Structure 1
């Protein structure tokens, strides 16, 4: 984010929160930001938000949510403009897991609400990961409750956010060790009406294949039964990397799913 984006963020917050000190926020956000990389800039701005938004996390996220634009109706070619919300997700990830930032109250529900709304405009696939790492069961339960959400961005989060080896995201050691807790999510979304979601499912299975190929292959083999052309694409896409490496089972699965 550059100075123009920071000015815009300050303006948006000031519109909905009369006590917001725009000047202080902009000074903190712009101070020493120039040498920082993209991801570090988002963390830097999140720190500035922490210093200038209401002290209580749930109050702060209520302010941030009230500044959001309408949810994205499209799932492709969203461009870079959605990265405007990257500092918002970093704020949630950094300050939404500790009751110390929420007047001693558990901030989990407020953090999940914020991530639900943010993923509809940007993505919460990165910010959900610290919650999975530190509060696995409760976070996974919440994601499972979103599987039937009408918004494909939310359904995709259930798969993409739980990928054990998501590129650019923190790895989830528990799922690298044992991916079986997410298999029910993949089962539920494998035939999702949105290619956006199905592509995430395929990539998720591909992640599993890196550490537990037998689990990934067994899952794909089970899906082959009565699979339509969309699900066959998911299977082919899921095992493409081990197939390229010459894995016989992966090659056989691709062929059975209509590949070469």
Structure 2
């Protein structure tokens, strides 16, 4: 699966990029570009391949950055209004964005305007981060103005590009230390009419909560008290990491009863040995021993063996039951063990743990074979 993902940048995609650039700039050395790119790709990951294509564009386009940038902008084609964030198709534009992030830092205003146009085809969330690092004041002022842009993909970039811990992206340590500038930006976007923008706001809040939970809790309390349309999902999804950790403030904000006494009556993993590609099946019965009805957040954590023989846990949502006094619920799950790009499996003993409001109530082990 990992190979399939990185192999998106194959000969056909590289050729397509070359063809579009050639249409915008007939003097582009198409064949030399293709050969140069294809010679470098085999050992590289997906993101490394995108950067290698960007480097090859730099080598084969006119050396004057503004002229080269104009060619790439003209090669984008029409805006299909989809923003390139669903599926893999939008990744064909990533090398062009990488070109701006790598070679446009000496032309910040020109480059930021280009990122605004390019993000309508594929998110500029990775490359705007270099401008935040190098040209902080200009970039933040520009992003603030973009929060009212008519195009949803530009408004989404205002949140996604500022996420402190964006996966695959440059970590923004200044926002890990102080998230206030980010919170100020996403305040403007929390009730955005487009769901992709609101989803980005929630993911940004979840990022911030990993390092600054107090700031997120304070923000969520205020948003919830103001009860503005469109913010309920941002509150729920923005608190998901804190809920999984059993943060009592987050649980209370979402209506979960963190004091509810719960007993796991039985927990069983269907079989003890699995292979990669199987479905890990288990079930658990939970009894609420309290005297009043309680809403519960039930998760399960899989503790994977890592390369060093230690454990690495990943938490998943199981259910959100509401139980009356003495009531019991039986929950079951079949978790896919198919290969994925974000996890490397290691043979050996692994563990499943049941969490109720972030607290462990049952666990069991299974063996995984490759």
1:56 to 42, 64, 76: 64
Q: Confirm or deny: 8 A CA contact 1:65 1:114 kept in the other structure.
A: yes
Q: Which protein shows a greater Rg? A: 2
1:19 positional shift = 2.2
Q: Does 1:120 align with 2:120?
A: yes
Aligned mate of 1:42, from 31, 35, 50: 50
1:159-238 correspondence to structure 2 within 5 Å: 159-228=159-228, 230-238=230-238
**Greater Cα shift, 20-29 or 142-151:** 20-29
The residue number in structure 1 matching 2:329 is: none
Q: How does 1:86-125 map to 2 (within 5 A)?
A: 86-98=94-106, 107-125=107-125
CA distance in structure 2 between the aligned counterparts of 1:114 and 1:217, rounded to whole angstroms: 36
Q: Is the 8 A contact 1:75 1:196 kept in 2?
A: no
Greater shift in the superposed pair: 16-25 or 197-206: 16-25
CA distance in 2, matches of 1:108, 1:95: 10
Q: Secondary structure of 2:243's match?
A: helix
> After the TM superposition, which of the residue ranges 86-95 and 19-28 deviates more from structure 2?
19-28
Deviations 1:21-62 (A, max 9, x none): 112211221123122111111111111100111111111110
Q: Pick closer, same or farther for the CA change 1:108–1:75 going to 2, 3 Å.
A: closer
Separation (CA, whole Å) in 2 of partners of 1:182 and 1:235: 16
- Whole-angstrom CA distance in 1 between matches of 2:35 and 2:82: 35
Matched-pair contact (CA < 8 Å) for 2:101–2:128: yes
Flag the structure with higher strand content: 2
* Residue 167 to residue 68, structure 1, CA distance change in 2 (3 Å): same
- Which is helix-richer, 1 or 2? 1
Deviation per CA, 1:80-101: give whole Å up to 9, x if none: 1110011111111110113xxx
Cα separation, partners in 2 of 1:94 and 1:77, compared to 1, 3 Å: closer
2:188 match: secondary structure: helix
| Structure 2 alignment gaps of length 5 or more | 1-8, 257-294, 297-370
Matches within 5 A, 1:149-160: 149-160=149-160
> Which structure 1 segments of 5+ residues have no match?
99-106
TM-score, structure 2 length as denominator? 0.65
The corresponding residue for 2:144 is 144
Return the TM-score normalized by structure 1.
Answer: 0.91
| CA apart distance, 1:3 | 0.8
C-alpha offsets along residues 233-257 of structure 1, whole Å, 9 cap, x if unaligned? 210111111112111111111129x
**Residues 84 and 122, structure 2, Cα contact 8 Å, conserved in 1:** no
Aligned-residue Cα RMSD (Å) equals: 1.7
Within the candidate set 35, 39, 44, 1:27 is matched to 35
Aligned counterparts of 1:77 and 1:159: Cα–Cα separation in 2: 14
Paired with 1:26 and 1:90, the residues of 2 have a C-alpha distance of 18
- Does residue 11 in structure 1 map to residue 19 in structure 2? yes
1: distance between equivalents of 2:145 and 2:132?
Answer: 15
Query: What CA distance in whole angstroms lies between the structure 2 residues aligned with 1:196 and 1:18?
Result: 37
